[in-house]
Amino acid sequence: MRRSDLGEFEEVVLLAVAVLSPKAYSVVIAEVLEQETGQLVSTGAVHAALQRLEQKGYLSSHLGEATPERGGRRKRLFTVTPLGGRILSEVQSVRSRLWERIVPQTILTWS
């Protein structure tokens, strides 16, 4: 696996963008992550991760239409780039190979 410089939080943010696309924006990403992890996720942390992921070339963004609910402001919507998709596939492959190597009895001892 090539070095991706992808942290754990960035990985789940990138996954959430993939799940929510084409309507992925910071607030809904934070909500999905809270639902999935059971932990509070600040929109500020999501904003920072989105910026890092975009700088790395794993995400692209554009401004959506202005909405009355947001006082005429536009949402920044994010999508996974081809490079981001390749990184997610690589991470999934590595994790899957490692999980397959764990002996089932080992997992039982963790209970």
- Residues 15-58 have pLDDT tens digits of 999 999 999 999 999 999 999 999 999 999 999 999 999 999 99
Give 53-111 pLDDT, tens digit per residue: 999 999 999 998 877 777 778 899 999 999 999 999 999 999 999 888 887 767 778 76
Its pTM stands at: 0.86
The neighbour count for residue 67, using CB atoms within 10 Å, is: 11
The neighbour count for residue 35, using CB atoms within 10 Å, is: 9
Q: Domain coordinates of the chain in residue numbers?
A: 8-109
Question: Tokens 């309507």, residue?
Answer: 23
Give domain 8-109's CATH number out of 1.10.287.130, 3.30.450.20, 1.10.10.10, 3.40.50.720. Answer: 1.10.10.10
User: For residue 29, what are its two tokens?
Assistant: 């990403």
Greatest CA separation for the chain: 57
